[in-house]
Chain A
Amino acid sequence: GAVVSQHPSWVICKSGTSVKIECRSLDFQATTMFWYRQFPKQSLMLMATSNEGSKATYEQGVEKDKFLINHASLTLSTLTVTSAHPEDSSFYICSASGARLPTNEKLFFGSGTQLSVL
């Protein structure tokens, strides 16, 4: 099956710093990538949808300037949490979808990034 690599797996940073999370599709072209946020024992909340070469579409309530998403190529999307604060601490998961079957229906998820902001 298709593989999505997410890096780093966990990161601890000081309040006020920026953190970049990478999401790569290893064996298919990800025309669409999704970024989710998950709090402990809760569901995944979609933050934004990004298409290669265009601006990301953010869900209501998600700050665009806070969570910068770049989808520069068909295999790489990045999420940058700018000026991170303790309330940004969470589990962030990316997923990728291709343009054609079989990769355009089910999502392939990265392993997630646990962000802890001190």
Chain B
Amino acid sequence: SQQGEEDPQALSIQEGENATMNCSYKTSINNLQWYRQNSGRGLVHLILIRSNEREKHSGRLRVTLDTSKKSSSLLITASRAADTASYFCATGVYILTGGGNKLTFGTGTQLKVEL
């Protein structure tokens, strides 16, 4: 079942504008991550924020996490046409056996950045 729901489902903006995507989830988490997927390809990790963190930056990316509201947002500043892709949030829970982080993905936002 889906842990996270993202909105909007689709977003179309002009190059240079900022893009904001939101993610809500239902259960307790250890961390929340954002991934990017180009059509028909694997996923690429963008940024991870732990449950005790509120905000994190990486280049043109800014992620916030509000555990009281069980929500997160991803901001891409000064967007480029190459940012066109699907973006997924994923909530992570640590696995005791064998280590690792079990991720449950949200529904995704399809971002289109036009020239």
Contacts and interface: CB of A to CB of B under 8 A. Distances in A.
Given A43-B88, A105-B31, A106-B33, A31 B105 contact: no
Contacts of B95: 32, 49
B98 A43 contact: no
A6 B95 CA distance: 23
Contacts of B2: 43
A109 B43 contact: yes
Interface in A30-47: 31-32, 34, 36, 41-46
Contacts of B107: 42-43
A112 B41 contact: yes
A104 B100 contact: yes
Contact of A104 (B33, B42, B90, B101): B101
Given A51-B97, A109-B43, A110-B42, A41 B110 contact: yes
A83 B45 CA distance: 33
Interface residues of B, number: 28
B45 A98 contact: no
Interface residues on chain A, size class: 20 to 34
Contact of B40 (A51, A52, A112): A112
B101 A97 contact: yes
A21 interface: no
A98 B103 contact: no
A99 B99 contact: yes
B92 to A, nearest CB: 7
B40 A114 contact: yes
B44 interface: yes
B72 to A, nearest CB: 15
B43 A93 contact: yes
Nearest to A108: B45
A100 B99 contact: yes
Interface of A: 4, 6, 31-32, 34, 36, 41-46, 49, 51-52, 54, 91, 93, 95, 97-100, 104-112, 114
5 contacts: A34-B102, A97-B101, A107-B33, A111-B42, A114-B40
